[in-house]
RNA sequence: GGGGUUGUAGGGUAGCUUGGUCUAUCCUUCGGCGUUCGGGACGCCGAGACCUGAGUUCAAAUCUCAGCAACCCCA
């Protein structure tokens, strides 16, 4: 029997997601997981480009109403410890800097697990008047958490490298709540652009962000049927304002606490793009975020003596595409075409253009779509508009496919909870008590995601009413799922 | 949180039980040269590793302990 090497083996996403995921990160050159510290990884150039394109979308959405800032990574112990509830939620997973050289520091410094306690003391200084409000800032930074559970690249990290956190301060609670709605809309827009389906839920009271009044979260569905939180949005109200004494003088001269929100997205959004769209051949990237949108593969034969012509045609096509603002790449390497196909399929390039002598004789080239391997012939003079059209089509196709498998895995349960399937997301009736929530989690081996948040009233009515599956008291329809 | 498995070249393995002239092998790994090129080419030449530390011993890839790291299962 012939020994098969790793890189040639076809990976199976559905049967063994975990293995698929790790292999894809390596083979598609997203992350190098060989760094010798638990839970921290190295971004390859290709992966980093993907990351930056994804965060570019996020930035452009945020920049409309937020300003980007950069706060320090070190937080003094006293500031970190100020908000009691907040501390409780994080204290077990804080990394501490306790020495400078061989000298013990008088004041231990925390590596930020999140930046509330770094930012809000400065908010106190920045905010004086109602004219300073609303204040809306964000930063994209690394944060550190001493995770004790099993770490996983992009998903559960000790160093989150790409934590986008927004922090806002408002004059009134109503303004803060309006900001929550805007943030939800912004995140919807973001994940829609990434073609990632999600559910939005209000997290149960006993599982909200430490220090928040309530938390709203986006969850995507991974191929193994587990939910993954990909975004969170918190109404902080006045709690941090009271702790850090963030006040402003209102029009009438009264001194009032600000109302705050914060909301974040980490590189889990990259994990979602990879996991939701990828297939057994590798990545399938939405054209919008693909580092290379079109790869051109020349088909050359030294014997035919036509390689010069072919190479020239490829070069011309590539230049035209670049001029049109398309990220095109001409693969001139001296590998055989087949090897190139596999490589670029693994890397998720949405569209491949092949040009060989046979095509040149007919003044055309061939398109092959990454998502479904559909092949088509295109006249050379139409390449640019056809590429633009096809990329759009590819985006629509992968979004449709993602939605299809997403909704196929969301189930409604009307009755008791016994016999519920453990794959996918299930909605059932549950009261608000922590005891019942925990019992459901334990008995079903799931996490309670929370009550569905809908925008329009029709969907709201759809939820219906029912008794809690545990205690039979009045319950609300909540989503549960095994979660990352 | 609990349990288990594992660490040998870029990747995959053998060697460990029973310590000894201990290194070896495969690859689509890397480098060079040539022939090739419409779905993972081939030939020749060459390169590259025993996780870290301590212990046992005349002698450790092999045995013991610790650390670090990876993977799997249960909660």
Q: For A383-404, what is each residue's pLDDT tens digit?
A: 999 999 999 999 999 999 999 9
**Ranges A217-221, A251-255, A422-426, A434-438: which has the least confidence:** A422-426
For residue A399, give the nearest of A232, A239, A214, A194 by alpha carbon: A194
Question: Which CATH fold would you assign to the domain A410-481?
Answer: Translation Initiation Factor IF3 (3.30.110)
For A75, the token pair is: 């937080």
The residue ranges of every structural domain in chain A are 6-277, 292-393, 410-481
Question: Each residue of A329-360: pLDDT tens digit?
Answer: 999 998 999 999 999 999 999 999 999 999 99
Cβ of residue A334 near strand B, that is under 7 Å? yes
Contact A248, A128 (CB under 8 A): yes
Q: What is the pLDDT of residue A376?
A: 97
Cβ of residue A364 near strand B, that is under 7 Å? no
A477: β partners: A429
> Residue A305 above 50 pLDDT?
yes
Q: What is the pLDDT of residue A1?
A: 20
Same fold, A292-393 and A410-481: no
| Interatomic distance A248 CA / B72 C1' (Å) | 55
Cβ of residue A1 near strand B, that is under 7 Å? no
A311: β partners: none
Cβ of residue A2 near strand B, that is under 7 Å? no
Q: What is the pLDDT of residue A207?
A: 92
How far apart (Å, rounded) are the C-alpha atoms in residues A449 and A425?
A: 9
Beta pairing class for A214-221 and A199-202: antiparallel
For A443, the token pair is: 């008995």
Average pLDDT, chain A: 92
How far apart (Å, rounded) are the C-alpha atoms in residues A259 and A171?
A: 6
| Interatomic distance A35 CA / B36 C1' (Å) | 38
Cβ of residue A336 near strand B, that is under 7 Å? yes
Cβ of residue A407 near strand B, that is under 7 Å? no
Count of Cβ atoms closer than 10 Å to residue A477 Cβ: 18
| Burial of A261: CB neighbours in 10 Å, binned 0-12, 13-18, 19+ | buried
Q: What is the DSSP letter of A97?
A: E
Nearest nt to the CA of A33 via C1' is B70
Question: Each residue of A170-216: pLDDT tens digit?
Answer: 999 999 999 999 999 999 999 999 999 999 999 999 999 999 999 99
How far apart (Å, rounded) are the C-alpha atoms in residues A255 and A249?
A: 5
Which homologous superfamily does the CATH classification assign to the domain defined by A6-277? Answer: Bira Bifunctional Protein; Domain 2 (3.30.930.10)
Nearest nt to the CA of A355 via C1' is B38
Question: Which CATH fold would you assign to the domain A292-393?
Answer: Rossmann fold (3.40.50)
Q: Is the ipTM of this complex over 0.95?
A: no
> Within chain A, what is the greatest distance between any pair of CA atoms?
87
């Amino acid at each position: 029997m012939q020994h098969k090497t790793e890189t040639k083996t076809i990976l199976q996403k559905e049967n063994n997601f975990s293995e698929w995921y790790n292999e894809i990160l390596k083979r598609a050159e997203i992350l190098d997981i060989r760094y010798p510290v638990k839970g921290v990884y190295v971004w390859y150039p290709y992966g980093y480009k993907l990351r930056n394109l994804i965060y570019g979308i996020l930035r452009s959405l945020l920049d409309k109403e937020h300003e980007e800032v950069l706060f320090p990574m070190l937080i003094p112990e006293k500031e970190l410890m100020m908000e009691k509830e907040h501390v409780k939620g994080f204290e077990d997973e804080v990394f501490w800097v306790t020495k400078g050289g061989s000298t013990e520091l008088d004041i231990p410094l925390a590596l930020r697990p999140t930046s509330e306690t770094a930012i809000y003391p400065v908010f106190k200084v920045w905010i004086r008047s109602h004219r300073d409000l609303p204040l809306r800032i964000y930063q994209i930074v690394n944060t550190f958490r001493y995770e004790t559970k099993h770490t996983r690249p992009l998903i559960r990290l000790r160093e989150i490298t790409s934590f986008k956190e927004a922090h806002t301060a408002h004059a009134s609670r109503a303004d803060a709540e309006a900001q929550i709605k805007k943030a939800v809309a912004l995140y919807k827009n973001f994940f829609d652009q990434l073609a990632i389906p999600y559910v939005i839920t209000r997290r149960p009271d006993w599982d909200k962000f430490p220090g928040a009044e309530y938390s709203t979260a986006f969850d995507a569905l991974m191929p193994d049927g587990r939910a993954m939180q990909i975004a969170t949005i918190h109404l902080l109200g006045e709690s941090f304002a009271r702790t850090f004494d963030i006040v402003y003088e209102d029009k009438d001269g009264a001194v009032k606490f600000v109302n705050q929100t914060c909301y974040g997205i980490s590189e889990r959004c990259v994990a979602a793009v990879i996991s939701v769209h990828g297939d057994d051949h590798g990545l399938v990237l939405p054209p919008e975020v693909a580092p290379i949108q079109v790869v051109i593969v020349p088909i050359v034969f030294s014997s035919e003596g036509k390689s010069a012509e072919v190479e020239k045609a490829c070069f011309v096509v590539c230049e035209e595409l670049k001029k049109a603002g398309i990220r095109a790449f001409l693969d001139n390497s001296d590998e055989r075409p087949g090897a190139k196909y596999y490589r670029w399929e693994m890397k998720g390039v949405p569209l491949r253009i092949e040009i060989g002598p046979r095509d040149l004789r007919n003044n055309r080239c061939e398109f092959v779509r990454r998502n479904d391997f559909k092949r088509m012939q295109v006249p050379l003079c139409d390449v640019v508009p056809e590429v633009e059209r096809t990329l759009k089509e590819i985006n629509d196709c992968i979004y449709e496919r993602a939605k299809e498998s997403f909704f196929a895995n969301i189930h409604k349960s009307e009755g008791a909870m016994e016999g519920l399937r453990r794959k996918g997301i299930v909605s059932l009736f549950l009261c608000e008590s922590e005891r019942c929530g925990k019992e459901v989690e334990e008995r079903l081996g799931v996490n309670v995601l929370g009550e569905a948040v809908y925008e329009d009233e029709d969907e709201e009515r759809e939820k219906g009413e029912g008794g809690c599956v545990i205690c039979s008291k009045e319950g609300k329809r909540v989503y549960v799922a095994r979660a990352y």
